[in-house]
Amino acid sequence: MTDLLKIEDLIVEYKTRRGAARGVDRISLKLQKNKTLGLAGESGCGKSTLGRAIINLVPHPGKILSGNIILNLDEDVPYEGGIISTGEVNIPYLGEKEMRALRGKEIAYIFQDPMTSLNPMVSIGSHYVETIQAHEPDVEKEEALERGSKMLESLGILAERIKDYPHQFSGGMRQRVMVGLGLVLKPTLLIADEPTTSLDVVVEAQILREMAELKEKFNLTMILITHNLGVLAQTADSIAVVYCGRVAELASTEALFEAPKHPYTQALLQSVPDVTKPDKKLTWIPGAPPDLTHLVPGCVYNPRCPHAMEICRSVQPPLIEVDDSSLVACHLYGG
């Protein structure tokens, strides 16, 4: 299995007036083809920043400071003024023109809020036409609309609704439209940022199923960013738990839920209600995530960790392989 995406020692820094905060602090990950990687964590942990760094759209005042994001292309990608050849490309070092060619065509990104991600003045069809023509300028409008309608159909929306405007769709429908826009150019990698967070549970289940079907059909590789561990349990092959810009634990989904290793993962799982276990005693994590502009030395989780040792307060634990497929950044496991 080749790796579609390799992230090496990525650092993304936000320069705020109060100081510099690292949204992503030396994260390294590998993503295999046709797999779904889940990025789990609470609000502000850096998972969204990581997702946006992959398409090099980190919002101001953030910037990729250093590190590599290596994407493995299996076809040539033309851009305005040249061609990106097959093989490995390092995203932070690409120019804006090259990135524009990659976005949508190779990497699709679905933003968090479907309510505001669509232009209310423009029909859904126009969104599709614009997206398609941006990457395939020779495609005629009718053909683009045709492709758009087919995509809507495969997502359970009537084809003729391609003419409608965003406000005529419900939340769930809009999210489907967004998923469709992301997939219409048949990208290799799909990054979905909280795709079902604002939706009700029934629609959520429908969309997750549709995304799974489309993943099969289009041979997609997915990165699913969400704080909802239930959703990740259902859809991800492996999960990276992110805390304060660092990966605390990276494991296969089964391994993570069955035997979580990092104290933060354990605490998270203990605090999530499980409808099949009504007598589960829910716990919470005392304290609060630290101010990223003034980090304590050592392991960033140590102030809240019940197992904190002396070494935790001074040395940052590296991410090391523990067994079969689990990686943990915790002194409890050596390192």
Partner 1 sequence: MGLIEFKRVKKYFPIQRGFLESIFTKEKTFVRAVDDVSFSIAKGEVLGLVGESGSGKTTTGRLCVRLIAPTDGQILYEGKDIAKLHGKDLRLIRRRLQFTFQDPTSSLNPRMSIGNAIADAMRLQGIGTSDERKARTEEILERVGLSPVSTFYNRLPHQLSGGQKQRVVFARATILNPEFVVTDEPVAMVDVSIKAQILELMMDLKKEFDLTYLFITHDLATARHVCDRIAVMYLGRIVEVADRNRIYDDPLHPYSVGLMKAIPVPNPKVKSEAVLQGEIPSPIDPPTGCRFHPRCPKAFARCPVEEPELTDVGEDRQVACHLYS
Please name the helix (run of DSSP H) or strand (run of DSSP E) that holds residue 107, with its range, or none.
strand 107-110
- Residue from 32, 174, 45 nearest 110 by CA: 174
Choose between 138 and 279: whose C-beta lies nearer to partner 1. 279
CA distance 129 to 134: 8
Choose between 256 and 330: whose C-beta lies nearer to partner 1. 256
Per-residue binding letters, 31-60, with partner 1 (x by CB under 8 A):
-----------xx-----------------
CB of 161 to partner 1, least distance (A): 13
231 binds partner 1 (CB under 8 A): yes
Choose between 110 and 231: whose C-beta lies nearer to partner 1. 231
CB of 197 to partner 1, least distance (A): 10
Among 76, 130, 140, 200, binds partner 1 (CB under 8 A): 200
Mode of pairing for the β-strands spanning 77-79 and 107-110: unpaired
Size of the site for partner 1 (CB under 8 A): 43
DSSP code string of 239-299: EEEEETTEEEEEEEHHHHHHS--SHHHHHHHHHS--TT-TT-------S-PPPTTSPPSS-
List binders of partner 1 among 114-173 (CB under 8 A).
Answer: 156, 170-173
Exposure of 106 by Cβ count < 10 A (0-12 exposed, 13-18 middle, 19+ buried)?
buried
* 61, 15 contact by CB (below 8 A): yes
What secondary structure letter does DSSP report for 71? E
- Residue from 250, 304, 210, 237 nearest 50 by CA: 250
Exposure of 310 by Cβ count < 10 A (0-12 exposed, 13-18 middle, 19+ buried)?
exposed
209 binds partner 1 (CB under 8 A): yes
For 86, other C-beta atoms within 10 Å of its C-beta total: 12
203 binds partner 1 (CB under 8 A): yes
Choose between 80 and 200: whose C-beta lies nearer to partner 1. 200
CB of 321 to partner 1, least distance (A): 21
Among 234, 266, 293, 316, binds partner 1 (CB under 8 A): 234
Among 31, 69, 268, 299, binds partner 1 (CB under 8 A): 268
288 binds partner 1 (CB under 8 A): yes
CB of 56 to partner 1, least distance (A): 28
Choose between 103 and 161: whose C-beta lies nearer to partner 1. 161
Please name the helix (run of DSSP H) or strand (run of DSSP E) that holds residue 102, with its range, or none.
helix 96-102
- Residues near partner 1 (CB under 8 A): 42-43, 156, 170-173, 200-206, 208-209, 227-234, 253-254, 257, 267-269, 271-276, 278, 280, 282-285, 288
